[in-house]
Amino acid sequence: MKQEKTTVVEHHNFQGEYRILRLSAPQIGPMVKPGQFLHLLIPHYDRSILRRPFSIYKADADGVSILYKPVGRGTEAMRILRVGDPVDIIGPLGNGYPQQAEGKIPVLVAGGYGNAALFLKAKELPVKGVAFFGGRTAQDILCVDEFKELGWDVRPTTNDGSLGTAGLVTDAFDPWMKEQNIESLELFVCGPNPMLKAMGDRAIERGFTAWLSMDKNMACGVGACLTCVIKRQTEQGWEWARCCKDGPVFESREILWDE
């Protein structure tokens, strides 16, 4: 983990409301593992000193890219970043996704910016399986061509039926799952909490492995403030686990969801 004073090298619209921000970050870029995130201090934004967490979409020796959607005051303030502006980041943070277990068939399940969070994993995995992407409309299904170029069989689902199967991601996943050798599946999931829980419940009921990247609001991002805790199952009962430091990726059986 490093704190780096980076520079904006690219910043533009991507698809729908999503934007791409690329930062020159030669110290952090080479250290990144799939599923890790960075904590970004938004310049020209003096209402809060809190950083904002973003999954690392792409990383190489020169820098990192994020794919973000403006949803509030902080991310709206990021819109005005220009090429050459300085941006302070801490990263790479979090545990990231584990290596694929031997003999397993990888499956990706993502919604919204989850597609960006899974892109490096999709690239790294030696076997390319099926990728289920969910969103409200076609505009929310990101990077389809990039995943296809890597060799993934992409199955989109949209709530309004504007792309792929109409409904939720589970409406495409469930019929497919019935045809599979369940124990051999290993899922890598990133998306909104209801999607994470739905996939986690299926993994526990049906006996396959699912790695879920938890989406919790974060303050410090480095394990000190306990803003981001979830309940993690232990042999004795449960304990608090920090999504920023112990996660964000947990196996479905570890997570005790709040009722």
* Site residues, ligand FES (CB under 6 A): 218-221, 223-228, 242, 244
136 binds ligand FAD (CB under 6 A): no
The CA distance from 53 to 51, in Å, is 7
C-alpha torsion sign, points 223, 58, 210, 193: positive
- Interface pick for ligand FAD out of 11, 68, 155, 242 (rule CB under 6 A): 68
Residue 227: which of ligand FAD, ligand FES, none does it interact with, CB under 5 to 8 A by kind? ligand FES
77 vs 241, beta carbon nearer ligand FES? 241
Residue 131: which of ligand FAD, ligand FES, none does it interact with, CB under 5 to 8 A by kind? none
The 3-state DSSP class for residue 193 equals helix
- Interface pick for ligand FAD out of 33, 69, 231, 245 (rule CB under 6 A): 69
The CA distance from 49 to 173, in Å, is 41
For 39-93, the DSSP string reads EEEPTT--S----EEEE--EE-SSEEEEEE---SHHHHHHTT--TT-EEEEEEEE
75 vs 185, beta carbon nearer ligand FAD? 75
248 binds ligand FAD (CB under 6 A): yes
Min dist CB 177 to ligand FAD, Å, is 27
250 binds ligand FAD (CB under 6 A): no
- Interface pick for ligand FAD out of 11, 37, 106, 133 (rule CB under 6 A): 37
The CA distance from 254 to 67, in Å, is 28
